[in-house]
């Protein structure tokens, strides 16, 4: 162990640790759970510290040697594996101050390794013109944008798969279902198009919400007023971030809002939640439609990726669909957590930021991975069971709906009820009740004319 000092006095720190006193105090005081601050936040903070050093130099607020040293240290931390140097719990101060100082302290230590002759103080130099209250939410925005961009790519891939399935199976007519009961016919491609279109709408919501995150509150300092920050610093930081990350980052016009409100995270999580509700429905539909293989609906056939049972030989389960709906349940729960956390900010600062970003990034990652897995391991290999589809179509009583305009609703209803009671087909029932000629019946109940 070695002794480090901060404004509160001395504290013992492991000899080889790159962090200093404030990080160690957090480790000592918040031994809660196993959840760590997401590394994506660390990466975003490193990019921000790098940009801030450059912006401070531009504003004659930091000398060139210290600027270059901080930039070099950030690049080293970004390019090499230093994840063990950022060990703090999610369950810490609600502003993320301890993580901001963890990053400041580690940068300071790396600077000392690079050039021991130059003093780089975690607060005075690395954190210059900054407060946790503006840098941590800015990092939240950046990390979420990067992760959501990955989710967007996964969504675009699954949309293309649905388009291909629609094209391949546009000529297949099947029975529809409403209220879990037989309904009138539709094309298999129609059913698939509803899935695809719902995801396209969700993609629109997610892109829109992600765009809102491109305004960051950097430069707002402690409460949004910009105390100790030079004019134009925020624009300079954003320009460097844009150059570094290739993202259209802009300063937030109202930084008081940026520190106190987290509605942008309610918005992005709401769009994740919307996607999750649609994916939950789609995955459930597909696993029900593929149920069987002999005693279920069995209209769809899914790829057999692994044994489905530890006791029943030959069983194939819809495991990809089950994984996806579990993810969706988690995303819905995360949305609830973020909703509560975002609504609970007090006065000039929301102090639920670590839990907000933990849940936000988890949702984005889970959606990305589960969509990719579902698409690759199930959807691409999805096939219709022509025999089952044809059987249900020919035996459905709801084909009678097409007869209502010709024989009236009451007669059509009695025809369906008679067929069901006698356990015969509609055609056989019509012959007995003599409502229509056989030729008229065949023409009017042709499923291809109902779509």
Preceding omega of 293 cis (within 30 degrees of 0): yes
Active-site residue among 7, 84, 117, 179?
179
Contact status, residue 248 vs residue 333, Cβ threshold 8 Å? no
To 5 degrees, how large is the angle CA 110–CA 114–CA 116?
95
Locate tokens 């059509």: which residue?
412
Q: Count the alpha carbons within 13 Å of 339 in the hemisphere toward its beta carbon.
A: 11
Q: What length does the chain have?
A: 451
Kindly name the residue from 309, 343, 344, 413 that is annotated as catalytic.
309
CA angle at 362 for the pair 79 and 280, rounded to the nearest 5°: 140
Q: Is 420 a catalytic residue?
A: no
d(CA 387, CA 320) in angstroms, rounded, equals: 24
| Paired sense of beta strands 2-6 and 9-13, if any | antiparallel
Question: In whole angstroms, what is the distance from residue 367 CA to residue 31 CA?
Answer: 29
Q: What are phi and psi of 383, to 5 degrees?
A: -135, 150
Token pair 């707002």 is found at 220
Enumerate residues 6+ apart whose C-beta is below 8 A from 3. 10, 11, 12, 13
329 vs 334: CA distance, rounded Å: 9
Q: Is 102 exposed, middle or buried (0-12, 13-18, 19+ CB in 10 A)?
A: buried
Asked if residue 88 lies in contact with residue 30, where contact means CB atoms within 8 angstroms, the answer is yes
Q: What are phi and psi of 300, to 5 degrees?
A: -120, 150
8 neighbors 25 (Cβ within 8 angstroms): yes
Torsion of CA 403, 408, 409, 413, to 10 degrees: -70
| Partners of 3 in the β-ladder | 12
DSSP 85: G
Q: Give yes or no: 309 in active site.
A: yes
Residue 171 in tokens: 């000529």
Number of neighbours of residue 188 by Cβ within 10 angstroms: 21
Catalytic residues: 179, 309
């Amino acid at each position: 162990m070695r002794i480090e000092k901060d404004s509160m006095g001395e504290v013992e720190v492991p000899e080889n640790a790159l962090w200093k006193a404030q990080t160690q105090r957090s480790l000592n005081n918040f031994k809660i759970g196993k959840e760590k601050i997401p590394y994506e936040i660390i990466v975003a903070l490193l990019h921000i510290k790098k940009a801030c050093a450059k912006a401070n130099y531009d504003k004659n607020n930091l000398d060139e040697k210290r600027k270059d040293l901080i930039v070099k240290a950030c690049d080293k931390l970004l390019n090499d594996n230093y994840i063990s140097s950022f060990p703090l719990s999610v369950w810490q101060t609600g502003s993320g101050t301890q993580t901001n100082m963890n990053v400041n302290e580690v940068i300071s230590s790396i600077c000392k390794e690079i050039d021991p002759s130059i003093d780089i103080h975690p607060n005075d130099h690395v954190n210059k013109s900054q407060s946790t209250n503006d840098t941590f939410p800015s990092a939240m925005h950046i990390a979420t944008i990067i992760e959501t961009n990955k989710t967007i790519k996964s969504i675009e891939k699954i949309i293309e798969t649905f388009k291909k399935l629609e094209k391949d199976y546009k000529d297949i007519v099947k029975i529809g279902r409403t209220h879990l009961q037989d309904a009138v016919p539709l094309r298999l491609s129609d059913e698939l198009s509803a899935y695809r279109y719902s995801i396209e709408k969700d993609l629109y919501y997610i892109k829109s919400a992600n765009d809102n995150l491109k305004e960051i509150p950097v430069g707002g300092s402690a409460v949004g007023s910009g105390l100790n920050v030079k004019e134009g610093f925020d624009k300079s930081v954003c320009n460097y971030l844009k150059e570094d990350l290739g993202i259209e980052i802009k300063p937030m016009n109202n930084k008081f809002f940026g520190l106190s409100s987290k509605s942008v995270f309610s918005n992005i999580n709401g769009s994740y939640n919307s996607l999750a509700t649609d994916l939950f429905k789609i995955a459930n539909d597909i696993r029900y439609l593929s149920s069987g293989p002999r005693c279920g609906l069995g209209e769809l056939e899914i790829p057999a990726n692994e044994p489905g049972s530890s006791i029943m030989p030959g069983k194939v389960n819809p495991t990809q669909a089950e994984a996806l709906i579990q993810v969706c349940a988690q995303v819905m729960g995360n949305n609830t957590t973020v909703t509560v956390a975002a609504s609970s900010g007090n006065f000039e600062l929301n102090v639920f930021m670590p839990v907000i970003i933990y849940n936000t990034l988890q949702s984005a990652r889970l959606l990305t991975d589960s969509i990719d897995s579902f698409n690759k391991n199930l959807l691409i290999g999805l096939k219709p069971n022509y025999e089952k589809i044809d059987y249900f179509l020919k035996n459905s009583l709801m084909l009678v709906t097409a007869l209502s305009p010709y024989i009236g609703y009451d007669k059509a209803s009695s025809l369906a009820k008679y067929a069901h009671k006698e356990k015969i087909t509609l055609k056989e029932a019509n012959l007995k009740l003599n409502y229509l000629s056989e030729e008229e019946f065949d023409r009017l109940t042709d499923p291809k004319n109902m779509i």
